[in-house]
A = this chain, B = another copy of it.
Amino acid sequence: MSVMPVAQPNPFRIFDTIQGYQRAFALKAAIDLDLFTAIARGNHTAAEIAKACKASERGVRMLSDAMVVLGFLTKAGNQYSLTADTAFFLDREAPAYLGHAFSFLMHPVQLSGFQDLTESVRRGGTIERNGTLAPEDPIWLEFARGMAPLMMPAAEAIAGILQAELASKSTAKILDIAASHGLFGLTVAQKLPKAHIYALDWANVLQVAKENAQRQGMSERYHLLSGSAFDVDYGSGFDAVLLTNFLHHFEPAENEKLLKKAHAALNPGGQVIILEFVPNEDRVSPPVPALFSLSMLTNTPHGDAYTLAEYREMCRNAGFEGPKQIPLDPMPQSLLVARKSF
């Protein structure tokens, strides 16, 4: 005989969720103050770290303790040290430093969007007329400057697909829509030394891509198309069109317009490669792609995190075969690869 334990009502999840905003701002404060970089440079007590960060010892002690609670630091006696992941990603001098991504991920526009989420749910979309979709919205400069390191695994995967497809060709022509930092097209250009990249984005954002192309010595093979992806003439003869982090901003009918333009610009047999948050058909898993729909609710009039079935319908209505979904584990995004018939 055993007595089944009866679960008591527990409000822990409620308070843990509420406290999430405090944890987010605590980590942002540590990034803003370069706390992790100070520790990487050999400062371990609150007094040493405070001096390096030009902050109060009391505040640094409290923030450092919070970073231990959240798993970003360890503490032995009064000495703070970096975890392996923190040293890898949050020391400003580390190659994989992710601190610049905070400027986009915790941009005031994103924060105020979520502060206004109640009203966005009432209306069914952003409470700003166009959300973050206005021409040359400066938030996309923050994206271009901060988010490239996060996109490395996806860029490598895209370049791998196109290398397998196009390496035997004497030349190749790639259209990179919403090019942003330029990483996707430039990674392809590195793998395919004869490929020409056509980068499309708002003129202000293209400056970032252009500088990155110059830095990599790619300027001669890097061409700029500035303006709205809905309006700009793409040209023709492309072997591939990249649509990265873009289609989630729009409603399906608008995406079909874009996909039809991409289809028309491609050579027969050409591919469209889409990088997206793709939740399962239940729309509640995996967590990160599923929750992404709220960002689209607050930031856009009609955007969403679309399922594979929804992307399949958009692609087919635009004339493509596919798409095939390629997960990018452990990254939360997927590639969707569709092809124009030969």
User: Is the CB–CB distance between B124 and A66 below 8 Å?
Assistant: no
A123 interface residue per 8 A CB criterion:
yes
A310 interface residue per 8 A CB criterion:
no
Interface string of A1-17 (1 = CB under 8 A from B): 00000011111111101
Selected contact of A291 from candidates B69, B111, B115, CB within 8 Å: B69
The residue on B at minimum CB distance from A22 is: B114
> B residues within 8 A CB of A114?
21-22, 25-26
> B residues within 8 A CB of A290?
65-66, 68-69
Selected contact of A120 from candidates B11, B59, B287, CB within 8 Å: B59
User: Is the CB–CB distance between A65 and B284 below 8 Å?
Assistant: yes
Selected contact of A66 from candidates B33, B85, B291, CB within 8 Å: B291
The residue on B at minimum CB distance from A102 is: B18
Interface string of A30-63 (1 = CB under 8 A from B): 0011000000000000000000011111111111
User: Is the CB–CB distance between A55 and B122 below 8 Å?
Assistant: yes
Interface string of A282-295 (1 = CB under 8 A from B): 11110110110111
User: Is the CB–CB distance between B62 and A122 below 8 Å?
Assistant: no
- Offer 18 A-B interface pairs, CB within 8 angstroms, sorted by A: A9-B88, A9-B89, A11-B89, A13-B71, A13-B72, A18-B27, A19-B291, A20-B20, A20-B22, A25-B117, A26-B294, A28-B118, A54-B122, A56-B124, A65-B284, A66-B293, A75-B284, A111-B115
* Residues of chain A having any CB pair with chain B under 8 Å: 7-15, 17-29, 32-33, 53-63, 65-66, 68-72, 75, 84-85, 88-90, 96, 98, 102, 105-106, 111, 114-115, 117-118, 120-125, 150, 282-285, 287-288, 290-291, 293-297, 304, 330
Given A18-B27, A22-B295, 11 more contacts at CB 8 Å? A9-B89, A11-B85, A12-B330, A14-B89, A19-B20, A22-B114, A23-B291, A57-B124, A62-B293, A63-B121, A65-B293
